[in-house]
Amino acid sequence: MKAAAVETKSLTRVFHPKKKKEGKSVTALENVDLRIDRGELFGLLGPNGAGKTTLLKILSTLLLQTSGKAYVAGFDVETQYHEIRKRINMVSGGEISGYGLLTVKENLWMFTQFYGIKSSVALQRIDELLVRFGLLDKKDEKVRTLSTGQRQKMNVIRGFATDPEIIFLDEPTLGLDVNASRTIRDYILEWVREGENKTVLLTTHYMAEADQLCGRIAIIDDGRILACDTPENLKKLVRTSTTLKLDTTFLNNKQVLNSVKGVEKFTYTDDAERNMTSLRFVLDDEAAVSDIVSEIVANGARILGLRKTEPTLEDVFIKLVGKGFE
Amino acid sequence: MTDSWVVMNLRAIKGRAYPRVIGSTREPSWVFFEVALPLLTVAAYAYIYKFMNAPAEFVGYVILGGAMTAFWLNILWAMASQFYWEKEIGNLSLFLMAPISRMSILAGMAVGGLLATTLRATTTIVIGTVVFAITLNLSDPAMLVVVFFLTMVSLYGMGMMFASLYLLFGREAYHMSNLMSEPVYLVSGFYFPVKALGAFVAAGASVIPITLGLDALRQLFYPSTSGKDGFLPVEIEALVLAGLCVFFLILSKYCLDYMEMLGKRTGRLTLRWQ
Amino acid sequence: MAVKDDLKTFKIAAWLGWQMESNWTDPFLFATYSIVRPIAGTLILVFMYLVITSGDTGSAFFSYMYVGNAFYMFVAEVLFGVTWVIHDDREHFMTLKQVYIAPIHFYTYVFGRAAIKIAIVSTGILITLAFGVAVLGVDIALASIDWPLFIISLVLGLIMLCVMGLAMGGLTFLTAKHEMGINEGVAGVFYVLSGVIFPITILPAWAQSVSMVLPVTYWMEALRRGLMPASMSEIAGGTGLEHLGNLELMGALALSATVFLLLSVAVFNYADKVARKKGKIDWTSAY
């Protein structure tokens, strides 16, 4: 039986400052236990600073853990990194790597040469991917002339061009427009479905992306895994609760809503331009709705809209972590 | 689909050399700088020797030294410190994730930069000898090839060792490279016989391959003054250089592995703007 | 108001320059680095001299060479330092565009960043000169220094170098990463042709003609006359400028510096305009 694509056991990573005056130690990962099977498209959700990138760096052999174990394709990240590197690749959102003076094709070809891929094979693969990602007309353009979206597509191609067994995608659609993001997501899904035992570990901020793509999702915050399950099962965590979305005129004193009975958690966004506040509640008692409305009106705001929503991953996150994604 | 370890690393060397070579052809303004700049330093030092009525061979020493600075600067800036720049632009993590030897990446950088380096060194010698009417009397071409080859291998091995520092350090290593320009020109006797520094200093400086390499070149081109200005006999210097080749290549492998491990442990391997 | 804004920009840029220059290591190592480099550069010449003259550092020429080489550090470091600001911000930190579009005078920012380099190199020069006087017998006596001549020429020269550095910085907008070769080249030309380490009389006639239009030639002469007035008349064959009195020398320095200043400002403005037209303000060119 083939080993899991990724397995971690009590994985911990602590960062110590170079000098005492530079601050305290930071625990980026704490006792992370994770198993990702081959052929999975696995998602890792968490706010900024949760530890997602740290985990990816350990798994991609760029960083050592402080304690615990991590295995990629059955190989130990600490002692067998040579074997791991033959089987993986990584793409990060907002990557600026590459050489501005080279063309897109040259840049992509260069990186394939570090993976022992024959030039003829590499160039063919690159051409196919350029077509797939709509970059064929840019192949002879210098990298420095690309827009942000085009550059990120190039980065994604770089990751897949080496045909890895396992690919780590760290917010690959960050900052991209709808079409570009869709192209990348569609390709990722296709790659996992049609490939043999191809595995993706995807970190993202975008709930819809995780919901659409991932067979299983782990939610991480402050270096700890809070939950790990399929999107449907995770949503069931809040299904016993009611999710309520409320739009009001600007509400000043929001903290008073915490004391309303039946309110489990809530988040809000202020829109200064439109003088509005959007509130999102997870309620463990639907009867709390009337108390919430009364409290809002008593604090001088007007209700502009109110609706119950189906639980989403963000609701799951709010329930588990107590805050939305910034 | 993939090849043996040797072929894979040869591909890596080719891959990393490619941007250097292509970059050179796409931004050809470097040709002017690589030809003109070294000549300016050579000219300055040549004229100062002329003003002091120094023996003619000293101008020849300056020209040889000026030519060899090309290789030293290639080591410092186009190889050793390159990991720092690669880290800053985000390429280093991609290189380090790849299943290849770090020495291949560095070798690729060195090979890719050889065009500019060789051009610089050659034009310095050719133009310098013409402008200052210098005669170089090569006494033993075979030994010249041997000494030059050994100097280059050991020098580039040393460069790889320096490069390992950049896996861990940030700007400290960049400043160390900066620090190693003039002091090495001094202690290695780029522009005067290293013997003038005293046997003790010259012996210590001999750990830098270019010290003995340059001293041997001076003796080969000026055999009549080798007794007066040479530090050690050429054959001994060649032997020492051969030893340095082995020493630095082994040391660089160890340093690269160790520094990478240290960088991964402390989390500084891919940390930018240190 | 504009002056106040400029001062603020200068101050912040200088602070940033100091952070860039100093916070990569601990103070001791930084001090070592700041001292070792200039002295090592000077010692190359010292040993070249000693090998030929068998140790006679008491000659006027030794002092001439030593002092010239020490002050040349201003030429190299200021030209380099000013240009490097643009190069560094564009290629490495990729912050140039943010600074460029800010409502500040860009050149004030650049000079502020470079000011710290000037301060550091000044310290290096002082140490080099002190070393030369104390250990090698360089002929500088505090009581003999012509302070007005020295200070005025020093300040004028530094202003000139800063603006020239800015011009070359402007050219870096238009060229790839090896643009640092431009200011190395210009600094190198000054090194050979401006009487930095040997009198221009040793140069061919055509080269001497070029020397006579370079402001650094007059600057070097003025600095040396200010610091060691007695020794200058003992240089064998003369320095090439001995026919100029101090006032005439200062006049020549002022005139050539002004010409180069105006030229530099024009070059920078032109390069800036072309760079904006071609979209090169924020490009990168690593290979």
Subunit contact C287:A144, Cβ cutoff 8 A: no
Is B274 among the domain residues? no
Is C286 among the domain residues? no
- Tell me what the mean pLDDT of segment B105-128 comes to: 89
CB within 8 Å of chain B, chain A residues 53-82 = 57, 60-64, 82
User: What's the mean per-residue pLDDT of chain B?
Assistant: 88
Q: How close does chain B come to C3, measured CA to CA in Å?
A: 33
Is B255 among the domain residues? yes
pLDDT band at A323 (very low <50, low <70, confident <90, very high): low
Look at the block and give the residue holding tokens 């210009």: C186
In this model, does residue A115 exceed pLDDT 50?
yes
Strand extents, DSSP E, chain A:
6-15, 26-36, 41-45, 67-72, 75-76, 88-92, 166-170, 199-204, 216-221, 224-229, 242-249, 263-271, 276-283, 303-309
In this model, does residue A301 exceed pLDDT 80?
yes
Q: pTM (2 decimals)?
A: 0.79
Token pair listed for B85: 């720049």
Render pLDDT for B64-75 as a digit per residue (tens, 0 to 9). Answer: 999 999 899 888
Q: Evaluate whether A172 touches A156 at the Cβ level (below 8 Å).
A: yes
Low-confidence ranges of chain C (pLDDT < 50): none
pLDDT band at B1 (very low <50, low <70, confident <90, very high): very low
Could you give the CA distance from residue A218 to residue A238 in angstroms, rounded to a whole number? 16
Is C254 among the domain residues? yes
In this model, does residue B214 exceed pLDDT 70?
yes
Q: Evaluate whether C230 touches C144 at the Cβ level (below 8 Å).
A: yes
Q: Total structural domains in chain B? A: 1
Give chain A positions within 8 Å (CB) of B7: 116
Domain that holds residue B131: 5-266
Q: What is the pLDDT of residue A326?
A: 44
Q: Which of C32, C50, C65, C198 to mutate to test the interface with B (most CBs of B within 10 A)?
A: C198
Length of chain A measured in residues: 326
The dihedral formed by the CA atoms of C143, C147, C153 and C157, expressed in degrees to the nearest 10: 80
Using a CB–CB cutoff of 8 Å, tell me whether A17 touches chain C.
no
Q: Evaluate whether B234 touches B226 at the Cβ level (below 8 Å).
A: yes
Using a CB–CB cutoff of 8 Å, tell me whether C29 touches chain A.
no
The three-point CA angle B39-B181-C54 to 5° equals 75
Q: Evaluate whether B184 touches B72 at the Cβ level (below 8 Å).
A: yes
Could you give the CA distance from residue A137 to residue A114 in angstroms, rounded to a whole number? 25
Q: How close does chain A come to B263, measured CA to CA in Å?
A: 8
* Closest to B189 measured CA to CA, from B80, B77, B76, B72: B72
Is B125 among the domain residues? yes
Q: What is the pLDDT of residue B31?
A: 76
- Tell me what the mean pLDDT of segment A227-256 comes to: 86
CB within 8 Å of chain C, chain A residues 40-99 = 96, 99
pLDDT band at B274 (very low <50, low <70, confident <90, very high): low
Give chain B positions within 8 Å (CB) of A158: 94
In this model, does residue B171 exceed pLDDT 80?
no
- Tell me what the mean pLDDT of segment B84-112 comes to: 87
Q: CATH code for A1-87+164-230?
A: 3.40.50.300
* Closest to A125 measured CA to CA, from A90, A160, A174, A168: A160
Q: What is the pLDDT of residue A29?
A: 95
φ, ψ dihedrals at A69, nearest 5°: -130, 150
Render pLDDT for A195-211 as a digit per residue (tens, 0 to 9). Answer: 888 999 999 878 888 88
User: Closest chain B residue to C239 measured between Cα atoms?
Assistant: B51
Q: How many CB pairs under 8 A join A and B?
A: 104
Q: Which of B20, B72, B95, B186 to mutate to test the interface with C (most CBs of C within 10 A)?
A: B186
Q: Which CATH number applies to A242-310: 1.10.730.10, 3.40.47.10, 3.30.70.100, 3.30.70.930?
A: 3.30.70.100
In this model, does residue B238 exceed pLDDT 90?
yes
Is C285 among the domain residues? no
Is C232 among the domain residues? yes
In this model, does residue B44 exceed pLDDT 90?
yes
Q: What is the pLDDT of residue A17?
A: 76
Amino acid residing at C82: V
Amino acid residing at A59: L
User: What's the mean per-residue pLDDT of chain A?
Assistant: 89
The CATH 3.40.50.300 portion of chain A extends over 1-87+164-230
Length of chain B measured in residues: 274
Look at the block and give the residue holding tokens 């034009």: B123
Subunit contact B2:A86, Cβ cutoff 8 A: yes
Is B273 among the domain residues? no
Render pLDDT for B254-268 as a digit per residue (tens, 0 to 9). Answer: 999 998 888 888 888
Q: Total structural domains in chain C? A: 1
The three-point CA angle A82-A184-A109 to 5° equals 50
Q: What is the pLDDT of residue B32?
A: 77
Domain that holds residue C67: 2-278
- Percent pLDDT > 70 in chain A is 95
Using a CB–CB cutoff of 8 Å, tell me whether C48 touches chain B.
yes
- Percent pLDDT > 90 in chain A is 55
Euclidean distance between the first and final Cα of chain A, in Å? 42
ipTM comes to 0.86
Could you give the CA distance from residue C217 to residue C248 in angstroms, rounded to a whole number? 13
* Closest to B151 measured CA to CA, from B195, B117, B182, B124: B117
Other beta carbons within 10 Å of C209: 12
Of A243 and A39, the one with more pLDDT: A39
